[in-house]
Amino acid sequence: MSKRISVRDVAAAAGVAVGSVSRVLNDSGYASQSLRRRVLEAAERLGYEPDFTARHLRTGRSKTIGYLLPNIANPFLAAHLSEVERLTQAAGYSLLVGSSEHPSRDRELVAFFENRRLEGIIASPSYEYPDPRVCPFTQCKLPVVIVDRAMGHDFDTVQIDHADGMRRATDYLLTLGHRRIALFVSSASLRPGREKLIGYQAALHAAGIPYDDALVYMPNSWIESSRQRMAQLLALPSPPTAIIALGTRMLSGAIHVAHEAGMAIPRDLSVIGIGTMETLDLMRPPVTALRYSFERSAQITVQLMMERISGAGPLEPRKVTIPWDLVIGASCTSRAA
């Protein structure tokens, strides 16, 4: 059981002082050629690796970033996390992940990240803390980058342009002649849902079509069933001729019910969905869907974080917005007037 070798071992082997070893290996301060050579040789020979933890304790730099998110299994969050990990790894940083679905755990995790002296926190929390005084991220001394949330307090933020994407998706269906367009999106308690509703309403308003609450399904809890709601919609006096379902489960629920009711897509119902590339390809007919680049959103996220860590960039929080693409499939058709 060979003990770990430290600077002292290298110093002894090279016949120099520990300080000199550190100086040579970190290129800090003066070092003559002969000293440099002896230290490097000894370090190489002994296979010396500086201990990360000790260095961290001494310098205060942990070279680690915390990533807080509600659920790693969510395909969108996982895709973003994946790209962020790649980029931070390339920049010499590691990623400590922590999942949290409740404010109390948000608080615990932030405190924990702070206690471990991480250098920054990337977060997409499940609550937006309208009151900054109780927001764990406001109290936090570390650099924070928020992903797709509208927090009560301003932070560096990367956000997806849900309103614009939704506006264009709705416009597309309106252009095809649809007037009764159902909307299934996630809860309005977070930015993604709220913004999508805004875009939807804006498109309808511009087209002079009244907004009908009965066509909109924004579940505040997962207990409500999108299948049940879809069945209700189809039983309406004037049922929808199109649906925008921006959520994998909601999309599958809606399609399921439509099929059971003997409807064909797009003949009887036009559909706009959402998804990662993998899942969208599974559907027949290919679904028209909203997509955005995870590479891009992750790249901005990491860039903001790195600038904040290095102290570069402005002091005031910055917000960067990522656009959606409407990828045309074969799940929508024009509606005769």
Please report, as ranges, the residues that interact with a copy of itself according to CB under 8 A.
49, 51-54, 56-57, 62, 64, 71-73, 75, 78-79, 81-83, 85-86, 89, 94-99, 111-112, 115-117, 248-249, 251-253, 255-256, 259, 276, 278-279, 281-284, 294
As a whole number of angstroms, the distance between CA 144 and CA 122 comes to: 6
Question: Per CB under 7 A, does 310 bind DNA?
Answer: no
User: Which x/- pattern over 257-276 shows residues binding DNA (rule: CB under 7 A)?
Assistant: --------------------
Q: What interhelical angle do 294-310 and 75-90 show, nearest 10?
A: 50
Q: Toward a copy of itself, which CB reaches closer, 45 or 256?
A: 256
- Indicate the DSSP class of residue 214: G
CB of 42 to DNA, least distance (A): 12
* Binding-site member from 12, 51, 249, 317 for DNA (CB under 7 A): 51
- Shortest CB 135 distance to a copy of itself, Å: 18
- Choice between 56 and 179, CB closer to a copy of itself: 56
CA atoms within 13 A on the CB side of 104: 0
* Residue 242 CB, nearest approach to DNA (Å): 60
Q: Decide whether 60 or 210 has the Cβ nearer to a copy of itself.
A: 60
CA 319 to each of CA 39, 148, 149, 154, 159: distance values in angstroms, whole numbers, following the listed order: 48, 10, 11, 9, 7
Q: Which residues contact 272 (CB under 8 A, 6 or more apart)?
A: 169, 172, 173, 242, 243, 244, 245, 246, 287, 288, 289, 290, 326, 331, 332
Binding of DNA by 22 (CB under 7 A): yes
Min CB(9)–a copy of itself separation in Å: 16
Is residue 20 within the footprint of DNA (CB under 7 A)?
yes
Among residues 2, 59, 104, 221, the one that binds DNA under rule CB under 7 A: 59
3-state secondary structure of 245: strand
Does residue number 110 form part of the binding site for DNA (CB under 7 A)? Answer: no
> Minimal CA–CA distance to 229: which of 258, 206, 268, 202?
258
The contacts of residue 261 (CB under 8 Å, 6+ apart) are 231, 234
Shortest CA distance to 180 belongs to which of 112, 238, 93?
238
Least Cβ distance, residue 207 to a copy of itself (angstroms): 30
Q: What are phi and psi of 156, to 5 degrees?
A: -60, 130
Structure tokens belonging to residue 211: 């907004």
| Residue 102 in contact with DNA, rule: CB under 7 A | no
- Residues lying near DNA in the complex (CB under 7 A) are found at 4, 6-8, 15-23, 25-26, 28-32, 34-36, 48-51, 54-55, 57-59
